[in-house]
Structure formats: C-alpha cells, structure tokens
Chain A
Amino acid sequence: MSKEPLFRGSDWDYRDVMRVYEAVERIATEELQLDVYPNQIEVINSEQMLDAYASMGLPLFYRHWSFGKHFARDEMLYRKGYTGLAYEIVINSKPCISYLMEENTLTMQTLVIAHAAFGHNHFFKNNRLFQEWTDAEGILDYLDFAKSFISGCEERYGVSAVEQVIDAAHALMGQGVDRYPKPHSRNLREERDREIERIRYEEQTYNDLWRTVPGAPDDPLRDYADPVAARRERLGLPEENLLYFLEKRAPLLEHWQREILRIVRNTAQYFYPQRQTKVMNEGCASAVHYYIMTRLHEDGLLTDGAFMEFLHSHTSVVMQPDFDDLRFSGINPYALGFAILQDLKRMATQPTAEDRQWFPQLAGCGDWVGVWQHAWREFRDESFILQFLSPKVIRDFQLFSLYNEASAPELVVAAIHDEAGYRQIRSALAKRHDLAYIEPDIQVVDVDLAGDRKLILEHRINDGATLEKSDAQAVLGHLANLWGYAVKLYEVDAESGRVINEFPEVAPGNL
C-alpha cells in the first residue's frame, strides 16, 4: 500500500512538523508500544544550541564560569569546524523537551522527533533508574529555584563568595551521588517548597537570646564503651556521598552554602542515571528512530530520497571506527546499544543454534517488542551488556580485550572474539561501563568532632589505580575549605585494607 509521502522537499513549517509528528507517534505507540511523557518540541538556532550545550543541556541553570569555559571551547571547536553540533538535545522532564535546530532539513526533524521525542522520552519515563532517581515533573521548577536561589546569594554575599562554594562543590560532584537508594525524599518540587518554608521560619523565629543559652552539660559520648564506634555511628559513617556529608555535617558552613551544596548534589544525582545508561539510552533512541523511519518508508510516507538522507546520517551516528582508525575515540555508545538491540530483535525472530544455546529463554520467542521493553525497563549499561551482549555482536565488532598493567612495558591481548573469549570480553566490557567501578570509591571514614575535627577520608582501591596526584590535592583543598578544618586522605587496598598511599594533610584556606 503506497500513500502520498509526508513531504518532498527539505524545507519545513509547523504544519509539516505536526504531520510528521503524528505519523511518527502512530508507529511509536501502536507498533513499538512506547509510553512517553507529553512532548514539547522547541525550535532553536545553532547559537542557542551552543548555549544549551554549555549548561549541561538544561534550559535554565545557575550561572558559573565553568559553563562559560565550556561554551568558549565548544564554540571555538564548532566555528573551526572540528565538531558539528548534535542534531538534538532532549531533557528528562515532564513535559519532555526536545530541541530541534532550525537548520535541519525536514528529514532530519523527522529523525530527531523519532529519536528524541519518542526514543529518549520512552527511556526516561520507563527505565527503572530514572524512575527511582529522577523527578521529571519537578526538575524544571527545581532548576528555576536553583537559579534564582544562587543569583540571590550572589546579590547578598557577592559573586566570588558564591563562586568559591560552587567551584568546590563541582570538584566533588562525582562524589555527590548516592549509589544506593536511601530513604529520603526525591520530589524536587516539594524540596524547593520546604526550603522556602524553612528560610521563612528561621527568619520569623530568630531570636538572639538563644545563643546565650548554655549547652547541654553532659556529653552523650561518655556513656559508650567505644567512643570511636559511637561517633561513627552517630555521624552515619562511612559515607560515600561527600557532598551530602558536608551539607549535613560541616561545622562552619552558612545556611546558604549548605543549600548550594544541596543544589549541586541534586543536579549530580539527577544526571547520575544518564551517565549509567549512555549505551542503553542512545541504543534505545537509535533503535526506535531506525524502526520508525524504516516503517515510514515502507508505508510510502517517506520518499526514497528522504530515506537515503536518513540512512546517511543514521549510519554515521552508529558507526564504530576500529581501534587503529584515526577517528577512534572509544566504544561508541550509539553503535553498541543499537547493535545489541538489533541483535535482540534478530534473536527473537530468526534465532540460530548459537542463540538458542546462549539465550534459551529469548531465542525464537517472537515478541521482540516485549524483549526490548523489558531491556529498557530493567537494566543499566553494565547489566545490559552483561546480560545481552551476544557472541554475534562481539564478532561483528571484532572486539578484543587488552590486559594493561601500568608498570609493564607492553599490553597483552587477553581475549579475542572466539569461543574462549566471549564471556571474558563481555564481562570486561560490562565492567568498563560500571560507574561504581570506574570512578574512585572515596568515603569519609572518621572525624573527631570533639577533638581537632580533622576529616579522614579513604580511597578504596581494587585495581591498583591510585588517584591522580595533583588533581586529588586540589580537590582536597576544596574539600578542606568546605569542611573548615584539616582533611586527610588515605588510599587503601580494598581487600587487605593496607594503606598504599597517603596524601599530605590539607588545611583549609579561606572561604
């Protein structure tokens, strides 16, 4: 059945976009059973795209020089032609906002709508990590609150005072996320309201007299047999979320400084699922756009020319250069995610003997949409790869793994794409996508609140990789500034508990 194509030229107007959107939506919801947040599509130009880039893709964000730095860098690279701009940026919010660039052709807009407004959108709404850790409904309000709160602070306390806190908080952003759920509120909108209420209450009830009341005479610690253990328990140590710890426990911070730490921490937490699901998220969006565009073409809604144009950009997005190729810059998450999902579809419908052996529950089940939905819902990159990376994809990518011992002069090939190597490659690749493994595991282990208040941190090493020295030293400086007293970092071996390295104690500068 051949219908009149949706469009023929490359120029577009709103009616075209509307028509395209409806066609895409029909396939997305009826055939792929995607379940999405309401969509909001915003048309912007390239300069605005650069702006959006610079503030982590968020439509509104507090001001800070590092965003300006990124803007300057991106702009330079773009103007010189080193990089193109992304065709789209999409925000995990409700409504889900996707940006379209005005320069795109209508084919590209169709692609972007399928990719972002349906692919990413579905993933944001349905993936377990996003459901658990982010609050799509509240994020825009919260960002608005964060922006005005911080600019309010700048007015009250000066730009540079605020900047120092944000600098320090940014340095610790990687250590500002909870990796495992804790029972506290996730609703950003409520959090904002509570914060406003808290400030109001404090302002209304402030009474200078309270300062003069003598403190409780007896030290509760005295009763415990082991004061160290008691103290650690009372402070909730060890604590891996350094920003959280500082916000709650740093003795000298002002109220507004704590609130800024909280804002940065909430932002870090908001982005944490995105960092854990790059492969899946891009894979999901790419598989969705590929399916939808193909179906549109089959139905005669896309001209052959438009389809060729689509294939051209699609293939360049999901291309994986070889390791010895000049263009190589690591594993391309689009390519890997797309390949695995296409492979799942193949296994579900046209399984081979190998598939039946490796994925008995999946091979030949026929319901590939269900398989996709399940994968999108339940996994993150690490577990997704561990679960679904098949021998066929490993062969297609010609993956091999290299054993790299920093002290050895040579790298050793540990596994290649053969029978003996599949499992090893799969688990090695999964490990490389496990943020908890890649990022240094740093925890607050002790602090003597009654004594010199020195903060003791531990970096637990499980692969022998100690911290990069000069950076670590600088971050410790930031940390000491926030804590207000000296900070000491030990690096210990995770298994033996042996101290491998220690950093000189860092005293706070002035904040």
Chain B
Amino acid sequence: MVNIIDRRRNPKGKSLANRQRFLRRAKRQVVDAVNEASGKRKVADVAGGEKITIPTDGLHEPVFRKSAEHGVREHVLPGNKEYVVGDTIPRPPAGSGGGSQASPSGEGEDEFTFTVSRDEFLDLFFEGLELPNMAKSQVKKSDQLTQQRAGYAVSGSPSNLNVERTMRNSLSRRIALRRPKGNEIRALEEEIDRLERSGSDPERLRELIDQLRLKKERSRSIPYIDPVDIRYNRFTQVRKPVTQAVMFCLMDVSGSMSEEMKGLAKRFFMLLYLFLERRYRYVDIVFIRHTHIAQEVDEDTFFYSRETGGTLVSPALRMMSDIVAERYPVADWNIYAAQASDGDNTPADNPHTNELIRNVILPLCQHFAYIEVGLAGHSVRLPSDLWRLYEKVSHGQAPLAMRKVRTQGDIFPVFRDLFTPAELKR
C-alpha cells in the first residue's frame, strides 16, 4: 500500500528559524563586514549590497579529524592509464586534485560568502540603533493600529453584516433568475379563484393552475435570500502615527569644504537617511544646505548639487527655527537635527550662532548631532570655531553630541555611536 501526500502547500521555509539563528550567530561577523565595507564602498551601495563575505571564524564547526600532514595512507583511485607498480607521482599542490572529497581527511572551509536579503541586511545594519529621547509620546513605538473600512467580504461575523449590499445582491439575483414576484402569484390566485367560482372556462383554469404550480415551484427553488448574496463589511488594520518626528539635516557646502569633506558629510547623511527610512515610518526629513545663505532643498539637490559659496552658520539655524515655527509645532513633534560642517565660521557670525543654538535650537531639539568633518592629514589642528563654541554650549549636558569624522572608515562607527541608546552602550 502506498500513501501519497502533497506537501507542496506546507509552509516553505522550514529552515527559516535555522536561518535566523545562523544570522544571529553570524551577526558580529556581518556587522564587522558591513563596518569595513562602509569604509570602502559608497554608502548608497550599502542599501543594495546583499552579498557579504564573512570569515568562518565563529561559524566553523570543529571536529576531531586526522591531519593530512602526517602519516601514511593508501588511496585507491580510478582511471589508471599508464602507471605501473613503483611509478612515482609528484605530490599535487595542496588544495588541488579535485574537490573536497578527494582529500582524504575531511573538508576544508574557506571564507564563506552568503546572501542576505535587503531586509535582513538593513535590519542587521541598523539593529539596536534608535533616535534618542523620543519623548513626545507615551509609548516608544512610532505607530498604532486602527481599523479602517476596506470594502466587502463574503465571510465575517454577523455583527458585520452589510444589509444593504446583501439585499441588493439578493434583488439582482432574483431579477436575473426571474423569481416570480408576490403580486404576480397573488393575481394568478385571484383569477383562479374567480374562474373556479364562475366555472366558465375550465380549459383556461387548468392552464392557470399549471402556471401557478410552476411559479410556486420556482419561487421555492430560488430563495429570497441566498448565502451567495450575503456580504459583510471588511476591515483592515492600518497604522496610524502617534509619534511624529522630524529630522533636520544641515550641511555646510561653503567654499572651505573640500569635495572630500562634502563627500564625508554626504555619506553620513545618506546613512542617516537610510536609517530613518528603515526604522521609522513617520519621520519627516528636512534638508537644509548653507553657504552664507541657507536654502531648504529636496533630497536630490541636497545630495547631488555642487553649488558653493561663503560660510555663515547662523542662517541655517535660523531657517531651521523658522521651519519649526511654521510647520512642526514643538508640542507635537520630536525634533532632531544633524549638522555637518568643517567647523569654519566667519568670526562675526559666532555671537549669532551662539545665541541661536543656545536659546532657540537646543531648547527645541530632542537631540542635536554635530559632525565635524576633517581630513586625515590635518590632524594637528586647533579646535575649530564652531567646535569650541558648541563645546561651551553643551557642557556635556545639553542634548548635543559632537563627533569628528576624518576618514570614510570613521563614518559608520560614529553613526553607531551617535544613535546607540545609552543603555546599550558598553
């Protein structure tokens, strides 16, 4: 006897749990790999980068096995063409000679390339990071589920029955199938009654009785309401924001910023942008770039335009506070800002900047991150104007974080550092 079972509809991905465990196990290596890659590759590639090479360290499964470097063995091989007993063959170089199974002592493993999906990748990439001090909500989650009408369904609970739609379906079905109406039957019955009383036209009477019988049968076989008519209201769950946040990205594109420095700044913002897009559903992002004047720009302009000019920091800060006043009421919005600059400012502007950051911007913000970009060669440099100014403002107290970035390799660690919640920092 044989039993045939179709398992194709069984859930696939029975290995999913194992795969997740594997990823969790590999996470340190993956994060290291990403960290290293982010120093080499464009950050934009990171989002699409799905192939990771990780060393087997930590993923290697050791077993007791005999070393190929010692001892005496006798191998048996197929396909002898010319050898006779006593012939010698030079030892093939290690690693060649056909595949892992040919080697007499188990398999060797090298670095292991495997593919993670984009989602898995970004999850790992940003795991554990979050915007600090999301305070203007009761819960930390940035959204909540609510019910919303979404058309009709053929199944559901009685309380969701949609009577109107059900009756409409029933009516059209009755019309389409020509179910006799009540008054037709009543008219027939009356006529039959009349003919019976008069007894005049028996031929016609028989015909009418037949008709009546047919109609009654028909109305019995076509019910007034059929299960196929019934419709229920369908609801779906939609996410509704309960916490709103806005991130201001302020970038200095003045003449003192070299292309390389701008590159570093842009990379940082790119990472920030990916992070926000990935982790938060309702975060507005405002891009402001400034030279001696500040401009609110769209994403493309922010990342790709090459305009330049003199340096003033205060216009950018002022513009930010204006936008907040106009569009993002402080009571409802969590306000964040990240500023990237080389730290140069026109000396005359410093008092303005000081005033603005101390009394206007920082009181608005949940968190303000300042990234000072510099170049690797210029390490012996006095602290910049802006750095000293911000340092004085912060005193380590205000929601102001300051970091320096000199090479591409610094970006990811600095980013992680800025957005790792304090309780997770070691």
Residues of chain A touching chain B, judged by Cβ–Cβ distance below 8 Å, are 14, 17-18, 21, 25, 38-45, 47-48, 50-52, 54-55, 63-69, 71-73, 75-76, 95, 99, 102, 117, 159, 163, 167, 170-171, 173-175, 320-331, 397-417, 420-421, 425, 428-429, 431-432, 438-440, 442, 459, 461, 463-472, 474-475, 478
Contacts and interface: CB of A to CB of B under 8 A. Distances in A.
B114 to A, nearest CB: 4
B80 A465 contact: no
Given A64-B18, A397-B78, A402-B75, 20 more contacts: A41-B3, A44-B10, A67-B15, A69-B112, A76-B115, A163-B21, A321-B79, A323-B78, A328-B79, A400-B77, A401-B75, A401-B77, A402-B89, A409-B91, A411-B75, A413-B84, A417-B80, A420-B85, A428-B74, A466-B70
B2 A41 contact: yes
Interface of B: 1-8, 10, 12-15, 17-25, 59-81, 83-91, 98-102, 104-106, 112-115
A463 B72 contact: yes
B101 to A, nearest CB: 4
A322 B77 CA distance: 8
A154 to B, nearest CB: 10
Nearest to B80: A400
A72 B62 contact: no
Nearest to A500: B70
A331 B15 contact: no
A76 B24 contact: no
Contact of B76 (A331, A410, A461): A331
Contacts of A407: 70
A428 B76 contact: yes
Nearest to A117: B2
A174 B100 CA distance: 19
A71 B16 CA distance: 9
A65 B25 contact: yes
Given A45-B8, A406-B69, A171 B61 contact: yes
20 contacts: A18-B4, A39-B1, A51-B12, A55-B18, A68-B18, A159-B21, A171-B63, A322-B81, A323-B98, A331-B78, A402-B74, A403-B72, A465-B68, A465-B72, A470-B62, A471-B63, A472-B62, A472-B64, A475-B62, A475-B64
B65 A467 contact: yes
Contacts of B87: 412-413
A382 to B, nearest CB: 13
B4 A41 contact: yes
A175 B112 CA distance: 27
The 7 tightest CB contacts between A and B, nearest first, are: A322-B79, A68-B22, A465-B71, A464-B71, A68-B18, A329-B99, A474-B62
A99 B14 CA distance: 15
A471 B64 contact: yes
B369 to A, nearest CB: 33
B80 A68 contact: no
A78 to B, nearest CB: 12
Nearest to B98: A328
A358 B88 CA distance: 30
Contacts of B105: 465, 468
Contacts of A408: 91
A40 B18 contact: no
A40 B85 contact: no
Instruction: Select the residue from B23, B69, B73, B90 with max chain A CB neighbours within 10 A.
Output: B73
Nearest to A14: B4
Contacts of A417: 80
Given A65-B21, A171-B61, A413 B74 contact: no
B26 to A, nearest CB: 8
Contacts of A41: 2-5
A397 B78 CA distance: 5
Contacts of B69: 406
Nearest to A50: B15
B21 to A, nearest CB: 4
Given A69-B59, A402-B89, A38 B66 contact: no
Given A40-B2, A400-B80, A413-B87, A170 B15 contact: no
Contacts of B90: 409-411
Instruction: Select the residue from B61, B77, B100 with max chain A CB neighbours within 10 A.
Output: B77
Contacts of A330: 99, 101-102
Given A42-B5, A415-B85, A466 B19 contact: no
A51 B77 contact: no
Contacts of A45: 8, 12
A484 B236 CA distance: 55
A504 to B, nearest CB: 16
Contacts of B61: 66, 167, 170-171
Contacts of B23: 68
B71 A68 contact: no
A143 B88 CA distance: 51
A466 B66 contact: yes
Contact of A47 (B13, B25, B66): B13
A52 B60 CA distance: 21
B170 to A, nearest CB: 40
Contact of A398 (B1, B24, B78, B113): B78
B407 to A, nearest CB: 32
Instruction: Select the residue from B8, B76, B90 with max chain A CB neighbours within 10 A.
Output: B76
B81 A398 contact: yes
Contacts of A413: 83-89
Contacts of A14: 4
